[in-house]
Amino acid sequence: MTEAWDGLLLGAHLATLQGDAGYGAIEDGALGWRDGRLVFVGRRADLPGAPERLADMVVDAGGGWITPGLVDCHTHLVFAGDRAAEFEQRLQGASYEEIARSGGGIVSTVRAVREADEDTLLAQSLPRARALLCDGATTLEVKSGYGLELEGERRMLRAARRIAQSLGVEVRTTFLGAHALPPEYAGRADDYIGAVCDWLPRLHEEGLVDAVDAFAERIGFSIAQTRRVFEVARDLGLAVKLHADQLSDGGGAALAAEFGALSADHVEHTSPAGVAAMARSGTVAVLLPGAFHVLRETTLPPIAAFRAQGVAMAVATDCNPGTSPLLSLRQAMQLACTHFRLTPEEALRGATVNGARALGLDDRGVLRAGLRADFVHWDVARPAGLCYWLGGSLARAVYAGGQRLC
């Protein structure tokens, strides 16, 4: 007899997402796993033996649907404090740019992060990560970018690594030193970018960096400055991502594509030329409807162009204290359907298959034998229910690497 599986789940339908279209649905499905990997994904009727002889643990799901674990490929969830006061300011008419230029915005969170030690950052960030996990996210990307000094950035990245250890969820860390200009570098953006380029190799050597990001925008950094950071990342063999074309068409998506970036994120103002460049490079468009919603933006990402040119679209929370205080990737999926007119299937693929692709991960995002045993059992009558319900708790069980986490 072959080695017994660690677990076998029966009594639910499977949305495998295998193939390029559709949910890859299997009714009355079965899901088996061993050593953190899926070993069987198919119909219960096709199991190669009696369930109790196949697995050490047999779970009767009792209905509902199983999907791959969700992949939140863009978050800033490690931070201190909050910016609820700025939320009030925006409702009273202040723009995001006005708040940023008056000392609020990202720089206000920088002050809080610089005052917090690593344990404090972890303590404040763990509840946010746990909320994302228990609503179905089994892989998280976490960016730095609120330290804007070497030690602050290091503390953030270390705290992100510790989230993975504490919760059993995989965390991919992204260095975002080029997020905003800190006050001590006022009027010296080029000098600050030089410092960022000096920090990156040191943090990478310490094993704290999986990818590199920048904020290429008129209130962020120029294309030329962003290029300097990306060139250092390329020399180190690190993948790049980019906050691109959120507030204006600054050519960010095209720059991301030039460097073969994993993703260009936000992309509300990306031009047809930028879309074409992303299509050629295989760069994923990461849609962030939480920020679009909170900022009450009106310019939609070029969804039709992405579809027409085959640009993969991911969906993420952009969880952050200022513009997207969103603690549910499933809610981000709903907002993507409501605001951007994605279909529920596109939104689910965006939070699984394409979210994994935006992180350069090919071992998850689909239910298929050989891939990681990351999956969620949902209390819904059909997959579209994940995008239909506003709020609520729909995840009955969340598994990462075959271990039940929620």
Known binding-site residue numbers for Fe(3+): 74, 76, 243, 318
Q: Binding site for 4-imidazolone-5-propanoate: residue ranges? A: 83, 146, 179, 246, 323
H or E element at residue 309: helix 303-309
* Distance, CA of 39 to CA of 352 (rounded, Å): 19
Q: Binding site: residue ranges? A: 74, 76, 83, 146, 179, 243, 246, 318, 320, 322-323
Q: Are 224 and 231 in contact (CB under 8 A)?
A: no
Q: Binding site for Zn(2+): residue ranges? A: 74, 76, 243, 318
Backbone angles phi, psi at 270, to 5 degrees: -65, 135
CA 264 to each of CA 74, 82, 95, 146, 214: distance values in angstroms, whole numbers, following the listed order: 11, 26, 24, 20, 10
* Distance, CA of 283 to CA of 129 (rounded, Å): 26
Strands 25-34 and 7-15, sheet pairing: antiparallel
> Quick check: helix, strand or coil at residue 32?
strand
91: CB partners within 8 A, 6+ apart: none
Nearest to 385 by CA among 317, 314, 316, 337: 337
Q: Binding site for N-formimidoyl-L-glutamate: residue ranges? A: 146, 320, 322
Q: Are 78 and 117 in contact (CB under 8 A)?
A: no
